[in-house]
Amino acid sequence: MQKYDETQIQVLEGLEAVRKRPGMYIGSTGPKGLHHLVYEIVDNAIDEALAGYCTDIGVRLLPGEIVEVSDNGRGIPVGIHPTEGISAATVVYTVLHAGGKFGGGGYKHAGGLHGVGSSVVNALSEYLELTVFDGEHEWYQKFERGNYSEPIKIVGDSSKRGTTVRFKADPEIFKESDVYDYETLLLRLREEAFLNAGLTITYSDERDPNEDFEIVKLKYDGGIRQFVEHIHTVRGLTPLCENVIYVSGVEGDSSCEVALMWNDSYNEVVMSFANNVYTPDGGTHEVGFKNALTRAVNDYGKKFNFLKADEKYAGEDIREGLTAIVSVKLSDCEFEGQTKGRLGNPEVKPFVDKLVFEKIGIFLEEHPEEAARISEKCIAAKSAREAAKKAREAARKKSQMESMSLPGKLADCTEHDLDYSELYIVEGDSAGGSAKQGRDRKFQAILSLWGKMLNVEKARLDRVYGNEKLMPIVAALGTSIGEDFDLAKLRYGKVIIMADADVDGSHIRTLLLTFFFRFMRPLIDEGHIWLAQPPLFKVSRGKKQRYAFSDEERDMYIAELTAEGGKCDVQRYKGLGEMDPDQLWETTMDPERRTMVKVGIDDAFKADETITILMGDKVAPRRDFIVKNAKYVSNLDI
């Protein structure tokens, strides 16, 4: 037995714990965690704006992937801390759970309530430079991987006030990549500007010294009203009402504002924030809003005879085609985890519920024409939901009556251990035939699809049930869809989309991913959806052959096989059906040699937006998206 005693118990001092387990503090050391560093520093500046002392924030991306965040707030206090014996500014950047947001009177509302943001960024930076302006002097201190050799010192006189932080993420921590994505940061900064009406955020990408850079100024005096309008504009959605509905109220130290508008789509977008921190997993504020909205619209429907006495809308009926922003400001936010995904304050739910119920009820009665359009939208959604329920029940009865409930095009595997079992979804009988012959029958199942697939972005759930292209997938997986989805019934650990390496194959992949995202989202969230990567070329000379997955790899193999003279044959695969079973197994299905891509979601809101733009029926937003992103395209098949 290996020795285990008191000498093996480690105590991590200072910021060592952060560097040892960075994922505990920023979620991951991938791109999401990298960008989280910027959010933490920006959130500190936003807190100064919430406190009423900051009107301008600047964010610059500098050469070498250096980030600079500046504000014109009060400036971090630089005096000697009474218990730590060093400057308070140094304490903030070197001591976990140190800050001015624990009830000391510095902030009434703040997003950074755990006191670890600044120190975590410092710990995970190769270096960080802190400059503080206190109205009389300019103070400066430099840190390297969380440590400092000199105390903060005066480097000049200045009448300015504010704080500037310049840092470079540590490549020893962020090994995957330390490159910031311009659009990802722009999205977050725009959100912050919408949530703080009148605040100016200036953003610039100055990383390439050989290129002129654009300075983007984000300022929205209309606040979250403009946020809703922006979402509709970007997605190309047509609003049902002339103006955004706006609700606001105050109770003690808490405040709430809600902006909402219905549109012509079938999807809901509800974004909630607490002290400007996005809560993608919702929480008590979002629950209060949804409950109140459901009650208010139902009460109006019964009062004005849109509903019979025994009828009511479900919450999902009312939220079909709804875009809403819910923003609360609290003196003491209770978030779940440092990444603050969900709000837990129990007192927020009744506050938001009461406010929204009263104000939405008043709006509906004072705007009968708009209320009628909203009611008609809810009625249509209710009818579609009831039709989907009937279709679902009919599908269940059909499955019970049939001797085989699994689809006829499914070639199943013999074992269904989720750690090993795989379902390959392929298009066409030719590709399906090769896959069935080339697979390992023990753990690999094949489901062949054929014909044009339904674009579910343009369809409600009632059209999905009974669809001959989609229901075989649902039956094979065993999970059902929509509100009946049950991940525990999943029959395969990996669901692998294997499509041709051409335009049609890309279209099929996109349609399937849209379906999974809209109706079987947990499959993506839990990492069950994969994309097979079939080769693009076969390069051969005599008995030697190589499979290339890119143009560069093809050229490399051509050079390799022709090094001793002679020519080689290059075959461009346009479809999986062109491969014989052995080739398909060797290149695309053998777990020892294949390459696959796991489908995941870094930003659910951005994913939702992209699907709406690309798969919706509005041409203009899709054209703008393609023009904007054309420079990133590779392997274009024309």
Would you say residue 1 has pLDDT above 70?
A: no
Q: Which two tokens stand for residue 441?
A: 């029958």
Q: List, in sequence order, every residue forming a beta bridge with 153; answer none if it has no partner.
A: 140
Residues 595, 609: Cα–Cα separation, whole Å: 28
CATH number at residue 128: 3.30.565.10
Contacts of 561-564 with C-beta under 8 Å, sequence gap 24+, read none
What's the whole-number mean pLDDT along residues 539-563?
89
pLDDT score of 626 more than 90 = no
**Predicted pLDDT at 230:** 96
Do residues 244 and 261 lie in contact, with contact meaning Cβ atoms separated by under 8 Å?
yes
pLDDT digits (tens, 9 = 90+) for 339-367: 568 899 999 999 999 999 999 999 999 99
Residue 510 belongs to a domain? no
Residue 288 inside a domain? The answer is yes
Do 170 and 234 sit in the same domain of this protein?
Answer: no
Q: Do 208 and 66 fall into the same domain? A: yes
Banded model confidence at residue 12, pLDDT cuts 50, 70, 90? very low
Q: What is the mean pLDDT of the chain?
A: 87
- 53 plus 114 within the same structural domain: yes
Q: What are residue 263's DSSP bridge partners?
A: 239
Residue type, 72: N
In DSSP notation, 351-385 reads HHHHHHHHHHHHHHHH-HHHHHHHHHHHHHHHHHH
Lowest mean pLDDT among 217-231, 289-303, 328-342: 328-342
pLDDT at 215: 94
pTM score: 0.81
Are 159 and 268 part of one and the same domain?
no
Q: What average pLDDT does range 481-488 have in this prediction?
A: 87
Question: Angle CA(168)–CA(130)–CA(61) in degrees, nearest 5?
Answer: 40
Per-residue confidence at 103, pLDDT binned at 50, 70, 90? Answer: very low
Asked if 271 contacts 345 with a C-beta cutoff of 8 angstroms, the reply is no
371 domain residue, yes or no: yes
Instruction: Name the residue among 467, 432, 601, 615 with its Cα closest to residue 529.
Output: 601
Query: Contact 614/232 with Cβ under 8 angstroms?
Result: no
Residue 213 lies in a domain: yes
Residues assigned a catalytic role: 427, 500, 502, 504
How many domains, the chain?
2
Same domain, 354 and 281: yes
| Overall average pLDDT of the 87-103 stretch | 73
Asked if 40 and 140 sit in the same domain, the reply is yes
Write the pLDDT tens digit of every residue in 127-158.
Answer: 999 999 999 999 999 999 999 999 999 999 99
Instruction: Specify whether 367 is located in the same domain as 259.
Output: yes
How much is the average pLDDT of 372-378? 95
The pLDDT value given to residue 637: 55
Same domain, 296 and 207: no
What gap in Å lies between CA 34 and CA 561, rounded to an integer?
42
CB 263 within 8 A of CB 321: yes
Angle at CA of residue 69, ends 63 and 71, nearest 5°:
145
536 is a domain residue: no
**Do 139 and 57 share a domain, yes or no?**
yes
73-82, 271-280, 405-414: least confidently modelled range:
405-414
Asked if the model's pLDDT at residue 403 lies above 60, the reply is: no
Looking at residue 402, its pLDDT comes to 45
Q: Is the pLDDT of residue 11 over 50?
A: no
Q: What is the pLDDT of residue 395?
A: 64
Evaluate if residue 185 carries a pLDDT over 90: yes
User: For residue 630, what pLDDT is reported?
Assistant: 63
Residue 179 lies in a domain: yes
Domain containing 369 — which CATH number? 3.30.230.10
Q: Which amino acid is at 394?
A: A
Give the C-alpha separation, 471 to 467, whole Å: 6
**What ranges make up the beta strands (E) of 173-306?**
200-205, 215-218, 245-251, 254-262, 269-274, 277-278
Tell me how far apart the alpha carbons of residues 268 and 398 are, in angstroms, rounded to a whole number: 32
Residue 525 reports pLDDT greater than 80:
yes
**Where does the pLDDT of residue 335 fall: very low under 50, low under 70, confident under 90, or very high at 90 and above?**
confident
State both tokens at 435. 């896959």
Q: ∠ at Cα 621 (619, 622), nearest 5°? A: 65
Element (H, E) at 445: strand 444-449
Shared domain check, 244 and 351: yes
Q: What is the per-residue pLDDT for 564?
A: 74
Asked which of 218, 252, 282 is the last residue of a domain, the reply is 218
pLDDT of residue 632: 58
Same domain, 163 and 275: no
Question: What's the pLDDT at 8?
Answer: 39
Give the model's confidence band at 15: pLDDT under 50 very low, under 70 low, under 90 confident, else very high: confident
pLDDT score for 604: 79
424 falls within a domain: no
Last residue of one domain, picked from the residues 156, 185, 218: 218
Alpha-helix runs per DSSP H in 444-579 = 461-464, 471-477, 503-519, 521-525, 551-561
- 169 shares a domain with 66: yes
Q: How confident is the model at residue 6 (pLDDT cuts 50, 70, 90)?
A: very low
Chain segment 193-249, per-residue pLDDT in tens = 999 999 999 999 999 988 889 999 999 999 999 999 999 999 999 999 889 999 999
Residue-wise pLDDT for 389-400, tens only, equals 887 777 666 654
Q: Which one of 218, 239, 265 terminates a domain? A: 218
Residue 76: inside a domain: yes
Give the pLDDT band (50/70/90) at residue 549: confident
Range of the domain at 39: 16-218
